[in-house]
Structure 1
């Protein structure tokens, strides 16, 4: 038991030096797998294999990184970039007092405009006037549009100056990121800035002459609430709208909100939204039109006439019907949704029926707060009311109706996306919206650290004529059950019987 219970010590009777020598001889001759010599041979083979494996893995990783860099457009000189430069455009060197404003293609435009060869931007195809016209309808069709200069820098400057002159000071506070001025500027980001972040607030605005009119149209109003859960319904009749305008847009120079007795003196004022409002008293539809532009410009949301039925939830308006409920990766909600009202095609007598050969409807529209289109529409209405001596002799269509609204929409598409009105003729069911992967793929290769940027969407969605005018039976409009149909206009036309509407 003593032998079995204890380890056998063969060399305990030898001196320590002899023990070491004997142990070495025994292990060397035994050929044991655990001998030092055998262990060294096994370790060397395993180590060589592991080392070779690591080398191949490292080579594979480096190769994969280089391939990825080449595929995604990285360049050796760009690895240390700290800012995003406009693709295909040299850096802009600004002189004192100058500013650069970029369009959707990353093209810089300078304000004040330069007269020398250093001017950025340059002429585009939209700048040149053709004696033959831009469409088959000839130059006469082009001349009915009153479009802004195609330079984004001049366009933005014009809107800024309008805000400074006619809006309260709180709307033009450049230090406030939520002021109208700051929001307006956010729609013109440079290529190094993130895309716009503006969204359409979940509120639906309606207006009518009085509360009785609202009550008569309640079934259609309820349809909007039913199809758009969580959206607030905001109503203002003529009296409420008048009070809102006078309070919201009172300039700092006003001692108090104008009452009915002071309105006549305000009509002589040359500045301010209230002054323009007072000159648009008859027919009443002038104020109805003006109010819808104002409320969307300063609050944002959806405006619709009381005789319009909601066919599809507003959340689907920005989607292409072909997506069938699926949205592409990186999809961004539009900040402006408008629909074509008229598209005359090659009809030569179009001017007898419509103010514009391609016209945008304003009985239903959606906009984020501070969108350039809504502010530009307000500008056009105000300047005509206050500065045009012949304004009262012009038709409703031209003073506040689809005329100025269409001009504002097409001006923005021209300035921001280089789209002419002829480009929007014959739109298919998906309508039109700028998308960098299709319209400007070079924008997606200019990331901060060299990798590809996510999809870049334009802020404006233009619906085909079926969008807000389904079932009209002409100009390519499809049935109300078509996937592209979003809202149905009843064409009540009650404004046509108002005093002064027959001009």
Structure 2
């Protein structure tokens, strides 16, 4: 009898434990679902445009930090990026170099013609005390997933990009925004010691600081009382070069923009707001252009600025925007991405656009911006050829600056020396494209020649294979023949 009572007692206990376990599982499921619903009810991350931004892009970082401190939340990707990667204009440019390729230099698949370039960069870094970072595609993905964990839309966009060259372009902006330093394509080699670049050479920076107090160019709404009486010697926050300045009637057969900035070599401090705007644009363009739930949603008004939807549409950029026969609403997949898409999605076309928009926004929202262009400001030499001089555009430049506070493309024409707009330094074409034999570029032995680009550019032929032959561009980003 005692044995039967013991068995019954154990059975009751087991039934009770099973009931408790079931309740716990049910509560866990209910909690999980409740948590998920709460997460899903959070406001979506809004993707504002750069082209129609009514904010002071230079000052977003402090505004974002204040919003977080006040628990207002960060519901735009611009604010999220500014908060996660704050910008310190007073800091030094990180002494580091970043490069990436499909495989490591020790892999048999690593291109033989890049090994010399790799050796040059590692040697230059060692001599200057810079860190050298060579990442394979898998390394790059792992690093970005870690660094951009707090901005998941950026990682989502990176993974959705339909071609390797789009991801390679995006990577360079992402790594410089997060870590800073120099990014340079694998088919480049340094020509000067890294410490001798205009952006970091102490003697040249001291010269720039002196000019900043005496020879700055005025623009609309400038407050001369706010200009520095004694400028501090500090390194620029973003350093870019001219890729193309084609003073020829057929320039748009060869290049995406009349003045086109180079993005095979870029130097930056982490968190620079111009790079933030570029990352915002590429993320928004990708999520709007690539098939997926964000593009295909019936209501994207909480994600995109529907009043300016063309800002997100790569099919509407440059000449394609005015082509009535082009499929402007077509989603982008690997088989229909061509060279023109690359230029205007992640390449030098959109890079140049965002730089110009950022510079103009900076002038229009701040009254203490230093503008320096010694090519424009120095007296005309007796034997100077004005047809190949920026002074040919003096009236156009002055009208744009004084009337609307706009940085016109002419401000960077025929550059021989670095130009400064606030903390963005623009180097002449000789700096990153020496020896091309045109567009006033000097040779590789010129004092302003810092990096030589080998123009391997194999991606262009592959990408343009997606275009009908009758519509294919000539090169659209390479070096055209010198006009007769």
What TM-score, normalized by structure 1, do the two folds share?
0.53
How far 1:469 moved relative to its partner? 0.7
Please, which of 421, 437, 442 is the counterpart of residue 408 of structure 2?
Answer: 421
Provide the C-alpha distance between the structure 2 equivalents of 1:473 and 1:355, rounded to a whole number of angstroms: 20
What is aligned with 1:223?
120
Please, which of 435, 441, 448 is the counterpart of residue 477 of structure 1?
Answer: 441
What is aligned with 1:279?
160
Please, which of 295, 305, 313 is the counterpart of residue 193 of structure 2?
Answer: 313
* 1:149–1:415 contact (8 Å) kept in structure 2: no
What is aligned with 1:47?
none
**1:205 and 2:151 are equivalent in the alignment:** no
SS in 1 for 2:241: strand
Cα gap change, 1:154 to 1:471, in 2 (>3 Å) = closer
What is aligned with 1:403?
349
What is aligned with 2:358?
412
Cα gap change, 1:430 to 1:150, in 2 (>3 Å) = farther
What is aligned with 1:192?
none
* 1:318–1:334 contact (8 Å) kept in structure 2: no
SS in 2 for 1:363: strand
Cα gap change, 1:241 to 1:205, in 2 (>3 Å) = same
What is aligned with 1:341?
243
What is aligned with 1:288?
168
Please, which of 471, 478, 489 is the counterpart of residue 453 of structure 2?
Answer: 489
Cα gap change, 1:501 to 1:156, in 2 (>3 Å) = farther
* 1:163–1:172 contact (8 Å) kept in structure 2: no
Provide the C-alpha distance between the structure 2 equivalents of 1:154 and 1:463, rounded to a whole number of angstroms: 23
How far 1:168 moved relative to its partner? 11
Cα gap change, 1:230 to 1:499, in 2 (>3 Å) = same
Cα gap change, 1:487 to 1:172, in 2 (>3 Å) = closer
How far 1:380 moved relative to its partner? 1.2
Provide the C-alpha distance between the structure 1 equivalents of 2:276 and 2:286, rounded to a whole number of angstroms: 15
Provide the C-alpha distance between the structure 2 equivalents of 1:289 and 1:366, rounded to a whole number of angstroms: 15
What is aligned with 1:332?
234
Provide the C-alpha distance between the structure 2 equivalents of 1:501 and 1:362, rounded to a whole number of angstroms: 23
What is aligned with 1:300?
180
**1:433 and 2:314 are equivalent in the alignment:** no
What is aligned with 1:459?
423
Provide the C-alpha distance between the structure 2 equivalents of 1:380 and 1:325, rounded to a whole number of angstroms: 32
Greater shift, 204-213 or 284-293, is seen at: 204-213
Provide the C-alpha distance between the structure 2 equivalents of 1:199 and 1:391, rounded to a whole number of angstroms: 42
**1:232 and 2:131 are equivalent in the alignment:** yes
* 2:430–2:443 contact (8 Å) kept in structure 1: yes
Structure possessing the higher radius of gyration over alpha carbons: 1
Provide the C-alpha distance between the structure 2 equivalents of 1:462 and 1:385, rounded to a whole number of angstroms: 28
* 1:208–1:236 contact (8 Å) kept in structure 2: yes
Aligned-CA RMSD value = 3.4
1:57-77 C-alpha deviation (Å, 9 max, x unpaired): xxxxxxxxxxxxxxxxxxxxx
1:363-418 C-alpha deviation (Å, 9 max, x unpaired): 00101000011111111111110013546256111111111211121122212244
How far 1:427 moved relative to its partner? 3.7
Bigger helix fraction: 2
Provide the C-alpha distance between the structure 2 equivalents of 1:502 and 1:156, rounded to a whole number of angstroms: 41
How far 1:251 moved relative to its partner? 4.6
1:185-218 C-alpha deviation (Å, 9 max, x unpaired): x5xxxxxxxxx30321111000111123557323
Provide the C-alpha distance between the structure 2 equivalents of 1:300 and 1:164, rounded to a whole number of angstroms: 25
Cα gap change, 1:292 to 1:325, in 2 (>3 Å) = closer
Size of the aligned set, in residue pairs, is 297
Provide the C-alpha distance between the structure 2 equivalents of 1:409 and 1:499, rounded to a whole number of angstroms: 25
What TM-score, normalized by structure 2, do the two folds share?
0.55
**1:370 and 2:271 are equivalent in the alignment:** yes
SS in 1 for 2:419: coil
